[in-house]
């Protein structure tokens, strides 16, 4: 170790890198954070554009994620919750599907509604209970079986899957084939049941900003891409070389592979979000709207300003439309979406103003880089070089927070820094 104070460099100021840096400061270690871009947050960023808050692709916060409650100050994010459940578009109209355990007054309508049979709804309750008790994987043949097999094992009908579960889960996992392993489904489904789905009042970018604001003494250098790691020294694109006792690789999976000198894995899962502003909300209330029909370019949509009024200027609405993977070519997408949604909302769509399309090709890690079962330990690539990031666990915000935190704890232990009381 050089000198008396251990020197730790964290490469990347996404959620994992920030959680790691924060964890290190809790142990009394002040790292240097090097970030390639011009701001913190990585994949979680929000642009303020003419009074609209545009997250980089439609994304939400699950307050039921264990690390979210552990690491974030939720009251100061001033969370705006979605309605627990979804509105499903099918057979020419919208059907509301609430969580009957949280909205008992809606229970009769839910149990008798057209989104799946009564048996389906009882099976859904069993699946949710098993996910919460962490017994789901043992019922479905193990943690690495696919989510598609989970739904089949619980006997959920084709109608329930097509109208609700497929669009909902595709929206969550960006995985049309539902090949996501059961252990990840179990974790995420239990988190949905455990808390709310919400948006921070100032946009999703408020989450990494909160983490960064807690790093008082830490230096976070922006526009500082690392091009090489040699032992525990790093070289920046400028040619500057910095030495450390420990280096943490907190980039996305692809950059992490490149910086280790290995070929990058296949690209990640893509999210395409089309943003519109409108003079009137096309529907009222904080609903996630799923496309329960098989045709059309839209997977789901949300009137974000009905969830969080701060997402749009006064008197306007902000709509985020999430597309299916097989959509028309980019230059025809917006027209295809508008034409399709005119079938749902009529001529009101003509008054919508197109804002932008976010096509994020590596929103979530490719499934083949994720661990086959829940990880329990940190990733130490070699002596003095650790990795953290969402791809080392469930490929979610929760995973990024978790892996950042446990990496900081492991480094403190390795450096012989006493654990905080």
Ligand X SMILES: Cc1cc2nc3c(=O)[nH]c(=O)nc-3n(C[C@H](O)[C@H](O)[C@H](O)COP(=O)(O)OP(=O)(O)OC[C@H]3O[C@@H](n4cnc5c(N)ncnc54)[C@H](O)[C@@H]3O)c2cc1C
Q: Tell me: does residue 396 bind ligand X (CB under 6 A).
A: yes
| Structure-token pair, residue 199 | 């948006």
Question: Strands (DSSP E) along 107-249, which ranges?
Answer: 197-200, 219-221, 226-230, 233-236, 241-243, 246-249
Report the residue from 57, 84, 85, 203 that binds ligand X according to the rule CB under 6 A: 57
Which residue number, 16 or 412, has a Cβ lying nearer to ligand X?
A: 16
Q: Which is nearer to ligand X, 30 or 37 (CB)?
A: 37
Among the listed ranges 57-65, 83-91, 112-120, 151-159, the one in contact with ligand X (CB under 6 A) is 57-65
Does residue 59 touch ligand X according to CB under 6 A?
Answer: yes
The interface region with ligand X, picked from 12-20, 71-79, 209-217, 408-416 by CB under 6 A, is 12-20
> Does 77 interact with ligand X (rule: CB under 6 A)?
no
Work out whether 196 is an interface residue with ligand X (CB under 6 A). Answer: no
Residues 321-360 vs ligand X: string with x where CB under 6 A?
---------------------------------------x
Q: How far apart are CA 146 and CA 49, in angstroms?
A: 40
Cα 319 to Cα 67: distance, rounded to the nearest angstrom: 29
Tell me how far, at minimum, the Cβ of 43 lies from ligand X, in Å: 4
Binds ligand X (CB under 6 A): choice among 251, 317, 333, 407: 251
Determine if 35 is a binding residue for ligand X (CB under 6 A): yes
Crossing angle between the packed helical segments 166-173 and 182-194, to the nearest 10 degrees: 100
Stretch that binds ligand X, among 29-37, 124-132, 330-338, 413-421 (CB under 6 A): 29-37
| CA dist., res. 131 & res. 238, Å (int) | 49
Is the Cβ of residue 252 or residue 409 nearer to ligand X in the bound state? Answer: 252
Alpha carbons within 13 A on the beta-carbon side of 252 = 21
User: Please, what is the minimum distance in Å from the beta carbon of residue 229 to ligand X?
Assistant: 10
Binding of ligand X by 199 (CB under 6 A) = no
12 binds ligand X (CB under 6 A): yes
CA distance 381 to 368: 19
Is residue 96 within 8 Å of residue 157, measured between CB atoms?
A: no
Burial annotation 34-49 (CB, 10 A radius, 16+ → b, else e):
bbbeeebbbbbbbeee
Smallest Cα–Cα separation from 150: which of 135, 167, 172? Answer: 135
CB 197 within 8 A of CB 61: yes
64 near ligand X, rule: CB under 6 A: no
Q: Which of 303, 397, 406, 412 binds ligand X (CB under 6 A)?
A: 397
Q: Which part of the chain contacts ligand X (CB under 6 A), choosing from 111-119, 145-153, 177-185, 247-255?
A: 247-255
364 binds ligand X (CB under 6 A): yes
The Cα–Cα gap between 102 and 63 comes to 15
- Helix segments in 72-135, DSSP class H: 74-77, 107-112, 118-132
In angstroms, give the least distance from the CB of 115 to ligand X: 22
Strands across the sheet with 197-200, in order? 61-62, 197-200, 79-81
The site for ligand X (CB under 6 A) is made up of 11-17, 34-37, 42-44, 56-57, 59-60, 225-226, 250-252, 255, 271, 360, 363-364, 389-390, 395-398, 400
């Amino acid at each position: 170790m050089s000198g008396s104070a251990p020197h730790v460099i964290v490469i990347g100021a996404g959620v994992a890198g920030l959680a790691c840096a924060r964890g290190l400061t809790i142990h009394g270690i002040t790292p240097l954070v090097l970030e390639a871009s011009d701001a913190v947050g990585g994949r979680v960023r929000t642009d303020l554009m003419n009074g609209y808050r545009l997250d980089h692709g439609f994304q939400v916060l699950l307050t039921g994620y264990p690390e979210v409650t552990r690491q974030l100050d939720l009251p100061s994010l001033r969370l705006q919750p979605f309605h627990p459940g979804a509105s499903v578009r099918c057979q020419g109209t919208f059907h509301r599907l609430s969580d009957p355990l949280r909205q008992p007054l809606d229970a009769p309508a839910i149990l008798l509604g057209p989104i799946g049979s009564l048996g389906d709804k009882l099976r859904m309750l069993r699946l949710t209970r098993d996910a919460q008790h962490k017994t789901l994987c043992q019922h479905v043949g193990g943690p690495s079986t696919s989510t598609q097999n989970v739904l089949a094992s619980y006997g959920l009908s084709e109608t329930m899957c097509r109208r609700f579960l497929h669009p909902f889960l595709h929206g969550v996992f960006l995985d049309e084939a539902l090949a996501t392993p059961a252990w990840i489904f179990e974790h995420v489904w239990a988190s949905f049941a455990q808390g709310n789905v919400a948006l921070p009042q100032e946009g999703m970018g408020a989450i990494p900003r909160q983490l960064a604001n807690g790093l008082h003494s830490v230096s976070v250098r922006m526009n500082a891409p690392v091009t090489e790691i040699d032992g525990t020294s790093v070289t920046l694109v400028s040619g500057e070389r910095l030495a450390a006792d420990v280096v943490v690789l907190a980039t996305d999976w692809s950059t992490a592979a490149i910086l280790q000198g290995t070929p990058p894995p296949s690209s990640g899962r893509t999210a395409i979000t089309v943003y519109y502003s409108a003079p009137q909300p096309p529907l009222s209330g904080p609903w996630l709207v799923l496309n329960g029909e098989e045709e059309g370019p839209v997977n789901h949509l949300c009137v974000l300003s009905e969830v969080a009024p701060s997402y749009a200027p006064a008197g306007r609405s902000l709509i985020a439309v999430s597309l299916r993977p097989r959509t028309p070519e980019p230059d025809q997408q917006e027209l295809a979406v508008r034409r399709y949604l005119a079938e749902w909302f009529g001529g009101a769509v003509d008054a919508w103003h197109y804002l932008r399309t976010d096509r994020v090709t590596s929103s979530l890690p490719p499934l083949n880089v994720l661990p086959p079962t829940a990880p329990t330990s940190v990733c130490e690539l070699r002596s003095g070089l650790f990795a953290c990031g969402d791809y080392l666990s469930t490929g979610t915000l929760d995973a990024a927070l978790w892996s950042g935190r446990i990496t900081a704890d492991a480094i403190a232990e390795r450096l012989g820094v006493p654990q905080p009381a």
